[in-house]
């Protein structure tokens, strides 16, 4: 294929760092002009290659130190690879360490121009974008104050605003939404989703497997700098999930990846009273007011979720839920956005009916998620106070029961056709022997 068919191509990328046992060894090696070797090499990344077509979103998953940030820094041009090569087709904007390139003594406005010029844009191009950048950052009069007077959240807003305003063909994002209030996180995700809708190419690094599944078409799982899996985002994150289950014993640690927080909604620095929230969630025997957390396989139950949404016109919401086994296996999950169910009004109760429950014996965590209209941003993760205990009277094995029927039959077995060539001769030879 022609090179122009891909927005991003990487072949055998690797990055090695020199590690010195002490500062003295570094000095002696330098003074000896290479005759004395005082270091050993640490490969943060090795042998990574992939191709991305324009308009594709790729997620990077893996544990801390797996090489995700190193790969993104190479593609963003902030560090050079030790081996391999890569090619980018179009303008690139990277969101690696927002605000890291700001001059603290310069004003926010001056830093906009400085960062824009560093990205390769002319002063005229930046002037055409500056009103849009300032409006998105919402810094008010602080835009003309030195950046050293900014809080970390204000610097984050300004850095993101500058990066996305250049409207690149390729956007590189490295877990930058862990800082800042929920209002800003939502604004960032909306902007990235807008990039995806406009057929931009996105490389997205996150510890949230949910975000990678929802946002990305493909994914890479990195482990100790090497590619463990590459392909469809759902398949790759499932492989990574299976790996985590065998290496992480604590349920709460694993829940961080499946549902980044299962506590109450984080307060918004903007106006927490305007945020949607889950007020309660409980399990009942279907059609009754009997609250139950011990049922039998085959029982009919319903999950009732009470929610409030002070501003439904500007903040449409969805609900999601799942069943997680105690070994952190995700057994099932669904959401209102999968069934095109709309949650209208400022408050309400939405019921998920589950007739003839298929789960087999076990104890299950039941998390409930409050999501945005696209099912990507999580306003809240609400874990039911009690686990659901399911008992079974059957001998079926596995996680769930499936509808089936055993039927006696007098059908003849299918006829085995012999190969056209060689089959008859082998049969005859065998008979003679």
Reported as a single tens digit per residue, the pLDDT across 246-296 is: 554 444 444 545 544 434 333 334 455 678 999 999 999 999 999 999 999
Tokens of 206: 């996150």
- Do residues 118 and 15 share a domain? yes
Contact 285, 329 (CB under 8 A): no
262 located within any domain: no
Tokens of 226: 């090497």
- Do residues 229 and 281 share a domain? no
Tokens of 362: 């076990």
210 backbone dihedrals φ, ψ, rounded to 5°: -60, -50
Query: What share of the chain has pLDDT > 70, as a percent?
Result: 84
Model pLDDT, residue 271: 53
Cα–Cα separations (whole angstroms), residue 174 to 160, 177, 205: 12, 9, 5
Q: What share of the chain is helix, strand, coil (3-state, %, to 5)?
A: 30, 30, 40
**Facing residues of 40 across strands?**
19
353 located within any domain: yes
Contact 219, 52 (CB under 8 A): no
User: Per-residue pLDDT averaged across 9-28, rounded?
Assistant: 85
Reported as a single tens digit per residue, the pLDDT across 118-128 is: 777 788 888 88
- Do residues 226 and 171 share a domain? yes
Which pairing describes strands 201-205 and 170-174: parallel, antiparallel, or unpaired? parallel
**DSSP-based three-state secondary structure for 271:** coil
Whole-angstrom Cα distance, residue 303 to residue 326?
20
Tokens of 338: 């999968």
> Distance from CA of residue 139 to its chain's centroid?
29
**DSSP-based three-state secondary structure for 127:** helix
Return the residue matching tokens 């008992």. Answer: 391
Whole-angstrom Cα distance, residue 230 to residue 77?
23
426 located within any domain: no
Reported as a single tens digit per residue, the pLDDT across 97-106 is: 655 668 889 9
Q: Quick count: other Cβ atoms within 10 Å of Cβ 399?
A: 17
Q: In sequence order, which residues have a C-beta less than 8 Å from that of residue 285 and are 6 or more positions away?
A: 292, 295, 299, 300, 301, 302
Whole-angstrom Cα distance, residue 48 to residue 203?
14
- Is the pLDDT assigned to residue 11 strictly greater than 90? yes
- Do residues 280 and 175 share a domain? no
Return the residue matching tokens 């006696």. Answer: 408
* Full residue range of the structural domain in which residue 307 is found: 272-391
Question: In this predicted model, which residue has the larger pLDDT, 33 or 123?
Answer: 123
Closest CA to 395 of 361, 344, 423: 361
- Is the pLDDT assigned to residue 89 strictly greater than 60? yes
Tokens of 24: 């003295």
CATH of the domain at 316: 2.70.50.60
- Do residues 17 and 146 share a domain? yes
408 located within any domain: no
Contact 63, 248 (CB under 8 A): no
Cα–Cα separations (whole angstroms), residue 144 to 109, 161, 193, 294: 6, 16, 30, 61
What is the number of alpha carbons within 13 Å of residue 258 lying toward its C-beta? 30
114 located within any domain: yes
Q: Quick count: other Cβ atoms within 10 Å of Cβ 95?
A: 24
- Do residues 313 and 245 share a domain? no
Whole-angstrom Cα distance, residue 124 to residue 129?
9
Q: What rounded mean pLDDT belongs to the chain? A: 82
266 located within any domain: no
Contact 177, 170 (CB under 8 A): no
260 located within any domain: no
- Do residues 102 and 230 share a domain? yes
- Do residues 179 and 238 share a domain? yes
**Facing residues of 9 across strands?**
51, 87
- Is the pLDDT assigned to residue 432 strictly greater than 80? no
**Facing residues of 95 across strands?**
173
User: Per-residue pLDDT averaged across 22-48, rounded?
Assistant: 79
């Amino acid at each position: 294929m022609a090179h122009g068919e891909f927005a991003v191509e990487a072949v055998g990328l690797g990055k090695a760092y020199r590690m010195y046992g002490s500062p003295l060894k570094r000095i002696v090696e330098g003074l000896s002009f290479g005759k004395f070797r005082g270091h050993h090499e640490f490969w943060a990344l090795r042998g990574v290659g992939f191709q991305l077509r324009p308009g594709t979103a790729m997620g990077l998953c893996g544990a801390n130190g797996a090489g995700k940030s190193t790969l993104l820094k190479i593609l963003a041009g902030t560090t050079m690879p030790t081996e391999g090569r890569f090619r980018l087709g179009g303008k690139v904007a990277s969101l690696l360490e927002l605000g890291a390139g700001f001059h603290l003594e310069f004003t926010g406005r001056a830093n906009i121009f400085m960062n824009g010029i560093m990205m390769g844009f002319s002063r005229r191009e930046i002037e055409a974008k500056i009103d849009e950048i300032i409006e998105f950052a919402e810094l008010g009069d602080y835009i003309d104050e030195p950046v050293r007077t900014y809080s970390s959240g204000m610097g984050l807003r300004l850095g993101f605003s500058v990066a996305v305003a250049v409207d690149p063909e390729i956007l590189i994002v490295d877990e930058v939404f862990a800082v800042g209030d929920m209002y800003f996180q939502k604004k960032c995700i909306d902007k990235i989703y807008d990039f995806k809708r406009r057929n931009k190419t996105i490389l997205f690094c996150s510890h949230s497997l949910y975000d990678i599944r929802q946002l990305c078409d493909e994914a890479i799982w990195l482990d100790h700098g090497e590619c463990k899996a590459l392909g469809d985002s759902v398949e790759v994150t499932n492989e990574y999930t299976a790996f985590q289950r065998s290496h992480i014993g604590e349920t709460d640690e694993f829940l961080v990846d499946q549902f980044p927080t299962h506590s109450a909604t984080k307060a918004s620095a903007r106006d927490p009273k305007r945020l949607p929230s889950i007020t309660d969630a409980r399990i009942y025997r279907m059609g009754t007011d009997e609250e139950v957390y011990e049922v039998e396989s085959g029982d009919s139950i319903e999950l009732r979720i009470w929610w409030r949404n002070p501003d439904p016109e500007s903040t449409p919401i969805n609900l999601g839920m799942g069943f997680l086994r105690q070994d952190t296996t995700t057994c099932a999950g669904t959401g209102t956005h999968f069934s095109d169910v709309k949650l209208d009004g400022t408050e309400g109760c939405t019921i998920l009916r589950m007739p003839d429950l298929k789960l087999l014996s076990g104890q299950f965590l039941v998390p409930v998620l409050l999501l945005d209209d696209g099912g990507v941003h999580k306003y809240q993760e609400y874990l039911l106070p009690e686990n659901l205990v399911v008992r079974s009277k059957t001998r079926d094995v596995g996680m769930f029961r499936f509808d089936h029927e055993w039927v006696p039959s007098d059908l003849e077995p299918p006829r085995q056709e012999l190969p056209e060539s060689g089959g008859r001769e082998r049969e005859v030879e065998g008979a003679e022997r």
